[in-house]
Amino acid sequence: MAMKKSVLDFYEMKKKGEKITFLTAYDFPTAQFAEAAGLDMLLVGDSLGMCVYGYRGTLPVVMDQMIYHADAVRRGAPNTFVIGDMPFMSYQSSLEKAVENAGRFLKEADCDAIKLEGGVRIAPQINALVEAGIVVMGHIGLTPQSSGQLGGHKAQGRTAETARLVVEDARAVQEAGAQMILLEAIPPEVGRYITEDLDIPVLSIGAGPHCDGQLLIVSDAIGQFQAFTPKFVKKYCNVAAMVTDAMKAYAAEVRGGDFPGDEHCYKMIEGEEEKFLELIES
């Protein structure tokens, strides 16, 4: 079994040019699969709002939901670096609230780090968390919790001026003390610039191939989430089709009397059937 990696290992991987592998996970079995597959990091993302609960976005997700899922993921992947994602309004309104809620991920779900969205404007929160001894991953570019302000789930930094703003956000996150950063939905040129500019490991979800590692939403990667597919997604299998086919086959066998077969039935102890019939009819 591989040793659980720490943030220092991720710095070392950046230095050596070894790519960091990163997926979301929301439950115990998926976490087990990810650990067996040797993933370096798991994010218990608030994307579970859409992928698990069927909400239209991430805004309704609350801390208690995140803690329940993070706790299950930790049990499934005890030797993998697990990051808890701070849901909407768990950190924006005050530094105290941010520290209290981030602390819950560590105390109640044994997470290794937390992630929160925002650059320059969220730097005071990042600093407060780091001062409290918490490992922080920043998240900039397309930030789904503020997608209303961005005019929807749109790629960011596609013009020179907006790309400059993304770089400013990245620098603010590092200066505030975050030990890792995630870039979402920006052009690869900007992803490359930030990866070379920053000392901290830079993870990408839709920020091109030059970053220090890659993240995908597991429900996208395995073809489970069907509402929409962002441009940066690659599907490695089609779980939705596999599971639907399996369920159709099950229903057909039940309707046709083919399931359960003999091999799925418990046998009575030898001689007990006759005794049972006598007993029941007397």
Give contact residues for ligand KIV (rule: CB under 6 A): 24, 43, 45-47, 85, 144, 182, 184, 205, 217
Q: Helix or strand or coil: residue 265?
A: coil
User: In terms of CB distance, is 47 or 214 closer to ligand KIV?
Assistant: 47
**Shortest reach from residue 46's CB to ligand KIV, in Å:** 4
Which one, 46 or 71, has the nearer CB to ligand KIV?
46
Kind and range of the H or E element at 36? helix 28-36
Rounded least distance, CB 178 to ligand KIV, Å: 15
**Smallest gap from residue 206 Cβ to ligand KIV (A):** 9
Encoding tokens for residue 104? Answer: 């819950």
Residue 28 in 3-state DSSP?
helix
For this structure, is 184 an active site residue? yes
Looking at 7-115, list the stretches that DSSP marks H as alpha helix, in order from N- to C-terminal side.
7-16, 28-36, 48-51, 63-76, 95-109
CA 71 to chain centre: 13
Shorter beta-carbon distance to ligand KIV: residue 46 or 212: 46
Tell me which of 35, 175, 184, 273 is the catalytic residue.
184
Contact between 139 and 117 (Cβ < 8 Å): yes
Between 52 and 95, CB nearer to ligand KIV: 52
Shortest Cβ distance from residue 30 to ligand KIV (Å)?
13
The 3-state DSSP class for residue 201 equals coil
Q: Are 40 and 213 in contact (CB under 8 A)?
A: yes
Q: How far apart are the first and last CA of the chain?
A: 61
Q: Cβ distance 110 to 100 under 8 Å? A: no
Q: Which one, 115 or 161, has the nearer CB to ligand KIV?
A: 115
- Nearest approach, Cβ of residue 253 and ligand KIV (Å): 37
Cα-based angle 122, 127, 129 (whole degrees, multiple of 5): 100
Catalytic center residues: 184
